[in-house]
Structure 1
């Protein structure tokens, strides 16, 4: 739609700008067509996938709101530098009004309601460092670039592949395998959110400006919490995965990225169908790590690695037994090539 077209004026007068598509609540008087667009784009509480798939190519800065729009970094400046946002005189202002051109160089003119405190001055220096990392194009309009295609142009296929958990041109069978695992839907849903990196870990909450009273480092004191660290890298979770390795009599090096870790979680002695069932154990372990992490943080529970793994075993077995009543657990000797000192026993899933 052209910048000054009649339909654009009609839509903006009735519904506001495209920014309203990210709002949690939509007007009851909105048409079914607009409600469908709002639902497809996803609100901020639903991940706002459409918003995260586009990027601004800054020209003169006349369309992009300096504080409120996501145009630099991984979050709007109003969230990342919230204290400075509160004292800014430039709220709801486009970039073009927060600076000016000197020949071919852009110069910022940030205006504040009061003098900054010492700690706010340090934050202001970080702000300048971040916004100076972007380059502007004098004489050009602000445009959107679509992240899911190489050309930067939106395509229906790329949007569909994004919603299905894949990128255009990528043969991604991870989610197909996930939905085929014989477990309860709740476990699959949790695994889906983990593989998409959509769990409310501390790094994700801080980007959204959510400040928690509880420390999320009580489960693991090594570093700031992220999904990859919590489930696969921290000392506590690594002990759980090593217990699983010991249980089946192997010694493995695990990847710290969820998708790769999930894909590598298989046993060479099992066929494809049996390995699909075995991946239910993966879902059980990550689910118990998350549940245990929440109890440690919010209920001051002590970390218990053996409890995590034991409950994961129980859950995996219960899910599989519920889905396939005839399934049984059979212990068979592994190849002597995998153990020179003794015959190791591992657990193999078999069905009559």
Structure 2
């Protein structure tokens, strides 16, 4: 509804929607916006330039000059490209040829788009981050407003320390949530690195290596998250922080199921970090198939070692992890 009626995305604004939106304001923030997120599938109802559909800000705000040069200012995501032999190809159109610096901005934009995987013939939909199933309910909204929801920071940290991962992985996840890992951005802030050019991402070499970019929004890491989500049979929702990203993996009917599902998140960030260090210190190449295999093996071994009654083999875990988790 927001995309349909709000003037943020389209030239006209509904007074009715503006009133509804203002009714959701609490302490200067909009609680409904904080608890909801759009899951972009084929991009049929998502504004390419105006919505934050990648989780790292709207392209209008990030590439303001390119936005004004675009012929597709009010186009949806799926109007900015086409399907060719089952593969999506972007086709952005400009009012004139791009000049030198504008071409660099366009390359950065295409780098941001490189990790996006659209799904043909699958409609966009909104997801309610507060509930594990992504479905809005009055009860979950009430708990969210009361502060007793799964997004509370203290509960996120508690979930990390009560997880099934080894202590070193728990400590690493804790530092991720506090943005205290030794990313190149943090090393630059501490003057361990003195040249900005030395602080580019170890995976893509196109952006500053912040914690968020390295482990979540980089095309390389984002592709691993997509592979893991496909393996789990879940829809990965765009997030704006590591805490939001972590929370969507905390799913299940009971605490045992939630701890098991969180093992996949922990195994993924740990695998990405090890892969990054291997690139930095041993000049290796990151292989997504090998990385996904490590995620599966790590998560299975942690669950197997810590949950009594988990009798599934590694083969069972590879074949149907969701069924293994739901049986707990």
| TM-score between both structures, scaled by the size of structure 2 | 0.47
Greater relative contact order (Cα < 8 A, sep 6+): 2
Indicate the structure with greater helix content: 2
